[in-house]
Amino acid sequence: MHRLLAAAALAVLFMLPATARAWTLSASLGKGAKVSPSPVEAEPINVMIAPGFDIAVVRLELGFLNSLPDTKASKYDIELRPMLVIKPPIIPIYGRAIFAVANLLGKNQKTEIAYGAALGLEISLGPLGVFVEAGALPRSRKYAVKDATGTTTSTEAKFSWVVEGRVGAILFF
């Protein structure tokens, strides 16, 4: 029984540094690619600001993502990303669950729902940290259907695999 209590006390001591910094604010830059269905196409560069709140080994974040029009046929758009980050104490590796609502400006496109996950590395010293992560955000998108002459005849929804890399900084309050 004493060993169980000692183990619980040690677990709490290791989690105290994570709970001592409750509020966070991260800023990051991301770039992705649609890898399926063919052909592979670049996604727009995006900039995300994500306020968050740490509760022990869990961080809840709400990302405000701006897609910049840097690829063919892309337009400026806004996306909301509620996220759940699981980061064990001491270990610099974390996992992130992502739910995204894209195309909020709705310029000639319907709102798009995406979900996925990322794995990352976060290193922090004092109130400042840096991170790098890679993830996948599969989503359903509408694609133009063309006939033999190349004329668009209709659109159909297809499941797309989108991979994304991200680098950023995080501030702990």
Q: Residue 13's pLDDT is what? A: 47
Residues 139 and 161: beta-carbon distance below 8 Å: no
Q: Residue 145's pLDDT is what? A: 65
Options 3.40.190.10, 1.20.1300.10, 2.60.120.680, 2.40.160.20; which CATH number does 18-172 get? Answer: 2.40.160.20
Paired residues of 131 in beta bridges: 122, 168
Residues 28 and 166: beta-carbon distance below 8 Å: yes
Could you read off the pLDDT of 10-58 as tens digits, one per residue? 455 455 554 456 899 999 999 999 998 888 989 889 999 999 999 889 9
Identity of the residue numbered 76? Y
CB atoms within 10 A of CB 13: 10
Q: Give the whole-number percent of the chain exceeding pLDDT 90.
A: 52
Q: To the nearest whole number, what is the mean pLDDT of the chain?
A: 84
pTM over 0.85: no
Give the rounded distance of the alpha carbon of 94 from its chain centre: 12
- 66 vs 3, which has greater pLDDT? 66
At residue 108, does pLDDT exceed 90? no
Q: How many H helices and E strands in the chain?
A: 1, 10
Listed by start position, the domains of the chain span 18-172
Q: Residue 15's pLDDT is what? A: 52
